[in-house]
Amino acid sequence: MRAVPASNSLGVRIAVVDDEPTIQETLKAYFETAGFLVFTADSADAFRRLVDRERIDLFLLDIKLPDCDGLTLMREIRDRTDAAVILVTSRSDEIDRVVGLELGADDYVTKPFSTRELLARVNSVLRRTRTDAKADRVGVRRFAGWTLDLESHRLTSPAGESSRLTHGEFDLLAALTRYPGKIMSRDELIASVTDREWNPNDRTIDVLISRLRRKIEPEPGRPSLIATEYGIGYVFTEPVT
């Protein structure tokens, strides 16, 4: 099926990191038709040269590469850039998917996948990761001494130290602090970070909650800011101004 260019795709630079030539060629042709600028890399060395040379907005990263674990590259992406990342995994890679989300991946897609589905995932992630994607992302929210700047995506601790948030962490914290005291279901929360229909085996929200607690809770093992409502979801308990 021919890709239809989306208004948010023109000029966006994506990188396909996969060692299968057929997948590279197919995705490059499809996403270029959709208006993206597409770069490819078939190994960790090629990936590193690409990152050194080009500014990339979004990586399509295969977890299994011949010369390096894709999760190692996931760490490098988070250390070196603010680019969005969609992991490409097999259906049996649940543990790798969870670890990838822990490391800051924005979404994942499993092989085999349709190019149309992948394009939808890419556009969804881009909508979330762009500063002007949501009209209500303006201003500052404060809670328990923390400051969340909605325009710069910056979280500042009570001690004045900056705490870096991944795109998924930011979206989740923004959703929770928008409705303090309200129990938010996993359906609501997962819609705020992935646009993915939730299923009982999807641990995306739990992984992101765990990461947020390690960053903002005085005692992550005994959370006081983000409480669990068992069988329902989570609630942000602290007043927000």
Contact 100, 86 (CB under 8 A): no
pLDDT computed for residue 10 by the predictor: 59
pLDDT computed for residue 9 by the predictor: 56
pLDDT computed for residue 7 by the predictor: 46
pLDDT computed for residue 134 by the predictor: 47
Per-residue pLDDT tens digits for 68-115: 877 888 888 887 777 888 988 876 667 777 888 878 888 888 888 888
Residues of the chain below pLDDT 70: 1-10, 91-93, 129-138, 194-202
pLDDT computed for residue 1 by the predictor: 53
Contact 68, 96 (CB under 8 A): no
pLDDT computed for residue 99 by the predictor: 80
Percent of the chain with pLDDT over 70: 87
pLDDT computed for residue 132 by the predictor: 39
pTM given for the model: 0.59
> Which string of b and e fits 166-201 if b means at least 16 CB within 10 Å?
bbbbbbbbbbbbbebeeebebebbbebbbeeebeee
